[in-house]
Structure formats: structure tokens, C-alpha cells
Amino acid sequence: MAGGKLSARQKMINMMYLVLTAMLALNVSKEILKAFHLMEVSFNQANSNVDKKNQNILEALQEQANNRKDEVGPYYERALEVKKVSGEFVKYIEELKKTLITKADGRKIPEHGEKDGETELAMADNIELHAHYLFKNPKDAKAKELTDQVNNTRTKLLDLLKDDAKVKVDEKDRNKIATLTNLKTDYDTKKYPSWAVMYFEHSPLASVITMLTKIQNDCRNTEADIIEALTRNIDKKKVSFDRLEAKVIANSTAVMVGSEYKAEVLLVASNSKSENPVVVGGRTLPMEDGKGIYTARPSNQGTFKWNGTIQVKGPEGTVSYPFEAEYQAFQGAATISADAMNVLYIGLENPISIAVAGYTPNDIVATISGGSLSRSGKGWIAKVSSPGKATITASVKVKDGSVRKMGSVEYRIKNVPKPESMFGALESGNYPAAALLGQNSITASMPNFVFEGIKWTVSKYSCAYVPRRGQAEFFNGVGASITGQIKSAITKAKRGDKILVDDIVAQGPGGITKKLAPIAININ
């Protein structure tokens, strides 16, 4: 098996999805959460397959080292170091996953019933608990630790390919593995401040756990590539492996309907130049570097099983090594959510999160009816101008250049609610004159509105001081400030006198102007 080849194939299922920020309420569909769950199951199975393959190679290498300690022993010891570094990193990620899952109420039995111990996340759509743990407590400490772990592990593993007095590795192997490994923290530097923010800060828990499982998979694949490179660089004429076992290494056991499922079928520890025929359903598979390449393109959802044999020619004839495998096909789905409870407000920049499992943000094409939709640094911004309804549609650019529609969601369009008018920080009610004198402006606020940071500015108002005995006094205010004349009237106010503020006009986002409710205050 050629070094780095598995990692290259792994790129075909790098399903990152980037579920972007949900400022207040992220509405993730059951279908997309199920898709993430299927991918998590797939990566876990792939991790198990690669780990078994690596263990088999190590066992065969150990047998050779026992017989040829001086020649094979150093390569075997180096391979054990590779497995140790990889194992420590996989364990670190596993503990991180357990912590995040525990914070979100653990796992539950799926609605369709438990199968082979399979469970789903109890709070798969949660986007706050893990983000707080990774980025806010203390700020960014855990996110930086995770990033450092990925980079340090990559460096440690690649360093184990360096030559010393007893271990020699071809430079082409080193360069190929360093280039193809997915164990790295690359990110879009124009849109995100860090790798961790790009993949974890604004994603639902289901996406985060799947991504962490994929990172474990990337590490195991890098481990496999390095161990195989070490094995290849032993004197091939003198080293032969006496354990042959058919293996199916699939990049994923879950694939979207219409997409390609691909798997590598090989003999563990086989020579990369061998051409042992792989037969599935009576058909001989095409070969690449000693591996039979099986492909399928499912047209509907479900679990698909397949099997075959590897035909190995030896001194005593041809020996067949049987194998079997299965994969799951799932229906692709788009996640479209308004970050303000599925309502788009006229005059506001409505943040929208759009993601499609298996596709990056650059692959997504989104449109809106009844408004405009544009990309922003953390997702999409929808703008609408008249009440009614709007439909947001998500499509993706597939590898053949075509565009495929993945889903659409309809949203209500509403006017921004009228803000509440206040005498400084005081609502209508009963207050002592001293409390009024402590206020400096007529204000307009929206304490229960789903959007934060919406600013309204009072542009004018009328005020009346109405004593229980005597003539009322009237004042006009330009702007929001409470005038000195009004405060002078308040200083002479007595119990039972009233302060009335009316004709309040305020300007809000997008130039919206509204006349607000009057304020009535009794002096007590």
C-alpha cells in the first residue's frame, strides 16, 4: 500500500459542513443531525478498521524483528513509537469528546431503537455548551490547547520518519506523507481568526463530535501511512510477511445519495507492487498500488453489504482470501436557520446560518425570494423590505460542475416592534421628585426583542408639568435630553403632581421612525 494514499482518499469524505454562528436561536433539522450522526458512526468504524490494520502490520513486523533483531528491530521500535504518539492523541480527543458530551446530557437510544450499542447525542443541536467550554472559560484556552495538540502530534509523527544510524526512510515517502496527511489546522484566514473558530465555535454539538472523530481518523490514517513507509524501507528482499489477511478499508461507511462510495481492498503488509486480483460479484476490480478499488453509487437510502475474495498465487496454487463489508447511504439535506426565531425583520440585517453536510461554505449557493441575501464574515445576512413571507433556498456545487438543490425554508417577514418609551430609566408610575431629577434623557428601548443591540434615538417630545393646584406648564424637547426647564419644574413639584411626556418620536435601524406611547408619572 503506497504511503499517503489512504490520506489522499480521505479527502473525498472531508465533509466539513461549517455550521456558522447562531446568534440567538439555531434551528437545525433532524435530517442534518442524523447525517452528522451517520458520519460519526462511519468515522468510528473507519478508525476501528485502520487500527486493526495497523495492529496486524505491527504483529507481523514483530515476528520478523524476533528473527532479525539487528535489521528489523529498529524499524519495529520506531513503528511502536508512532503508535504510541498516535494513541495518546486519539485518547486526548476521546476525553475531550466525553467532556463535551457529558456537558450536554450524554447520549440516548435512537428513536428507531438501539442497534449494536449505537446511541445518539441527547443535545445534538446545542451550540452553546461546547463553545463556552472551548472558547470562554477561560477565553480560548481549550481551543488553543486542541489546536496545539493537533499541530504537535503532526510534528511528532512526521519527525519519526527522519533518518538515524539504524533507520533509513526514502525522502519521497517523507515528503508524500507530509503533503497528504489531513492532520493539520488549515483554515480560511480571510474569514476566520483561527482553525478552532472555523470548525467548532458556531457548529451544533453533532457537527463538533463528528469533526473530532474525523480528526482521530486523520491521525490513525497518518499513523498507518508512516508504519507502512517504515515497513517498505526495510530490505524487501530479506523481509517477508507470513501473515496474510484480507482487509477492506473504506474512507466512509456512510455516503450521501448520488455521491460515490469508495473503498480499498488489500492484503495487510502486502508488497505495494503486487497485483493480487480482487473479485467482487464475479468482477475483477481495477488495481492501484496493490489495492483493488471498489466503487458504488447508491440511488436510495439504506445499508448495502458487499463481499468478494482476494486471489493470491503461490507455489502451491491460488489461495482465496474472503472479505465482506457494508456501507450506509443517507439523503443529503441542507440546514437553513434564521438566528432570530424564524422571523425576518424589515430594516434589520437578519443573520442566517446555512450548512450542508459534506460541503464547505464555498460550495453553497443560497437565494431568497422577497429580499436580498449576502455572505458575511460569520454566515449570511438577509434583508427584507415589506411584510409577508420569504423563502430561502440552499443549493451546492457538486464536483461535476452542476448545482444541486438541497433544501428550502419559508420565513415570516415582520416590522420591527415599537420600542417602549421611558423617562430615563423610569417607566410610567409613581416616583419621588428626586428620582426624576436623576434622569437625563427620554429613552426608547426594546427589552424583550430577540435581537440584541437594536438602538432607538428619541428625536423630539412634548412634556407637561401638571400640579394638583395651579396652572400646568408645557415644554417641547428637541432631541432626547430632558431640558433644564423641565427639571426646574420638577424641583418645585409636590406629592400628587404629574409629569406627562407625549408626542415622542424615535428613529430606529434603517431610518425607521415611530411615534411612541406617552409616559405618565405621579410624584409621591
> Cβ of 286: how many Cβ atoms within 10 Å?
11
446 falls in which pLDDT band (50, 70, 90)? confident
Helical (H) or strand (E) element with 49: helix 30-67
Q: Is 150 helix (H, G, I), strand (E, B) or coil?
A: helix
**Average pLDDT in the 213-230 region?**
93
Residues 6 or more apart in contact with residue 151 via CB below 8 angstroms: 184, 185
**Average pLDDT in the 150-162 region?**
96
So what's the pLDDT on residue 20?
Answer: 28
Give the closest residue to 82 by CA, choosing from 10, 162, 14, 145. Answer: 162
The whole-angstrom separation of Cα 352 and Cα 333 is 17
So what's the pLDDT on residue 494?
Answer: 92
Cell of 179: 503533503
User: Does residue 105 register a pLDDT over 80?
Assistant: yes
Give the closest residue to 97 by CA, choosing from 200, 14, 25, 194. Answer: 200
Cell of 133: 467550554
The whole-angstrom separation of Cα 417 and Cα 431 is 28
User: Does residue 465 register a pLDDT over 60?
Assistant: yes
Higher pLDDT, 244 or 303: 303
User: Does residue 44 register a pLDDT over 90?
Assistant: no
**Average pLDDT in the 221-233 region?**
92
Helical (H) or strand (E) element with 504: strand 498-507
Q: Is 76 helix (H, G, I), strand (E, B) or coil?
A: helix
**Average pLDDT in the 100-115 region?**
80
**Average pLDDT in the 491-511 region?**
91
So what's the pLDDT on residue 332?
Answer: 59
489 falls in which pLDDT band (50, 70, 90)? very high
Query: Mean pLDDT lowest for which of 254-268, 299-313, 448-462?
Result: 254-268
So what's the pLDDT on residue 255?
Answer: 57
Cell of 364: 453553497
So what's the pLDDT on residue 5?
Answer: 43
Q: What is the mean pLDDT of the chain?
A: 82
The whole-angstrom separation of Cα 442 and Cα 436 is 11
So what's the pLDDT on residue 120?
Answer: 86
Instruction: Work out the angle between the directed axes of helices 69-103 and 30-67 (0-180°, nearest 10).
Output: 160
So what's the pLDDT on residue 314?
Answer: 60
Residues 6 or more apart in contact with residue 22 via CB below 8 angstroms: 127, 202, 337, 339, 353
Mean pLDDT: which of 196-205, 300-309, 322-331, 495-504 is highest? 495-504
User: Does residue 237 register a pLDDT over 50?
Assistant: no
User: Does residue 253 register a pLDDT over 60?
Assistant: no
Query: DSSP readout, 364-385?
Result: EEEEESSSEEEEETTEEEEE--
Distances (CA, A) of 445 to 4, 361, 417, 458, 521: 59, 36, 11, 10, 18
The whole-angstrom separation of Cα 377 and Cα 379 is 6
**Average pLDDT in the 271-281 region?**
75
**What topology is assigned to 334-414 in CATH?**
Immunoglobulin-like (2.60.40)
So what's the pLDDT on residue 154?
Answer: 96
**For the segment 396-439, what is each residue's pLDDT rounded down to a tens digit?**
888 778 888 888 888 999 888 889 999 999 999 999 999 999 99
315 falls in which pLDDT band (50, 70, 90)? low
493 falls in which pLDDT band (50, 70, 90)? very high
So what's the pLDDT on residue 117?
Answer: 60
User: Does residue 23 register a pLDDT over 80?
Assistant: no
Give the closest residue to 79 by CA, choosing from 64, 57, 48, 46. Answer: 57
Residues 6 or more apart in contact with residue 78 via CB below 8 angstroms: 160, 167, 230
Residues 6 or more apart in contact with residue 4 via CB below 8 angstroms: 173, 176, 177, 179, 180, 181, 225
So what's the pLDDT on residue 440?
Answer: 94
Q: Output the pTM of the full model.
A: 0.48
19 falls in which pLDDT band (50, 70, 90)? very low
Residues 6 or more apart in contact with residue 438 via CB below 8 angstroms: 424
Residues 6 or more apart in contact with residue 63 via CB below 8 angstroms: 242, 243
So what's the pLDDT on residue 240?
Answer: 45
User: Does residue 22 register a pLDDT over 80?
Assistant: no
So what's the pLDDT on residue 177?
Answer: 94
So what's the pLDDT on residue 339?
Answer: 53
User: Does residue 328 register a pLDDT over 90?
Assistant: no
**For the segment 391-406, what is each residue's pLDDT rounded down to a tens digit?**
999 998 887 788 888 8
Domain boundaries, the chain: 5-240, 244-332, 334-414, 420-523
**Average pLDDT in the 477-486 region?**
94
Give the closest residue to 228 by CA, choosing from 177, 276, 265. Answer: 177
Q: Is 484 helix (H, G, I), strand (E, B) or coil?
A: helix
So what's the pLDDT on residue 137?
Answer: 74
Residues composing the chain:
524
**For the segment 178-205, what is each residue's pLDDT rounded down to a tens digit?**
998 999 999 889 888 999 998 888 888 8
3 falls in which pLDDT band (50, 70, 90)? very low
Query: DSSP readout, 420-457?
Result: EEEETTB-SEEE-HHHHHT--BEEEE-TT-SSSS---E
CATH level 2 (architecture), domain 244-332: Sandwich (2.60)
Ramachandran bin of 229, using left for φ above 0, alpha for ψ from -120 to 50, beta for the remaining angles: alpha
**Average pLDDT in the 477-483 region?**
94
User: Does residue 366 register a pLDDT over 80?
Assistant: yes
